[in-house]
Amino acid sequence: MEIAGYQSDFTLDNVSGDSNLPQENSLGGYAITTGADDNVYALSLDPSLTKPYKAGLSVEVVFHNANTDSATLNIDNQGAMPLKKFNGISLTSLTAEDLKTKLVYKLVFDGTCFQVLTGIPLGTGISQNSQVTFSILDENINSEDVFYVINGNKYAVINGNLVIPRNIRLRKVGGAGQLGGTASSGAVLKMPTPADIGGVIAWTTQSSEGNLFFCQLSGLGVLVITGEFTSDLDEVSIHFPSYVAKTPLEFPVLPVFNTL
């Protein structure tokens, strides 16, 4: 699938839940703004959004003119939402000329505003967005079915609630064999609970030996993978789309892993 310059191997097969997820919420898009007012920006994606924004919606934007004060963004007439930056402590409104022309800015909707994650230079006195790297805890991996490749259990949290994968690579306990589907439930990890996902985030990927895997992250934060490993060295890299988690971070209670 290719959308407005984005390429993805995502498939909608077997995905249930809110039809605005994950296609519109996770893939986002790229476009150049329009608008007559310096601080009221409009954006049109192709294909366009057809439902209200969901937390985790990510877009890359070129602004057609610089801002002169606090600013808003309206994507496909779904409503004008404030643009905010991180000052090292909290999110705050933009100030004059935070947004330049000809630069590409990455924005993520957090449920109340669009956070400007990249593009605002440090020379303006703005602190960098905070990023903390976490290791997945032992109680949050199904170690009866999968295990990590060395250091392959890392994810990052930006500004306290935006979750992104860093290096999560899984192999099957016992080597070759089916995981998920009829063989087992396929629940392998518990990630931070999303703030606003009515259905699932779903995608497909290939293992290191070219085997197709179907992956989905539930609205509770449980990651399920389904596919077949063909050797002891076959592994799957987990690259879920970035999403906004509840704050403070919390993890689902169920399923309970690693019990006798």
**Rounded to whole angstroms, how far apart are CA atoms 247 and 250?**
7
**Of 127, 91, 129, nearest in space to 110 by CA:** 91
What confidence score (pLDDT) does residue 121 get?
58
Residue-range domain boundaries for the chain:
8-129, 132-244
CB atoms closer than 10 angstroms to residue 104: 12
What lies within 8 Å, CB to CB, of 77 at 6+ separation is none
What confidence score (pLDDT) does residue 237 get?
94
Q: Is the pTM of this model over 0.85?
A: no
What confidence score (pLDDT) does residue 183 get?
60
What confidence score (pLDDT) does residue 33 get?
94
**Rounded to whole angstroms, how far apart are CA atoms 193 and 202?**
15
What confidence score (pLDDT) does residue 37 get?
85
**Rounded to whole angstroms, how far apart are CA atoms 246 and 55?**
11
Cβ atoms of 116 and 126 closer than 8 Å: no
Question: pLDDT tens-digit profile of 67-101?
Answer: 999 999 999 999 999 999 887 677 889 989 889 88
**Of 238, 69, 46, nearest in space to 148 by CA:** 238
pLDDT < 50: residue spans in the chain: 1-26, 124-127
Amino acid at 151: N
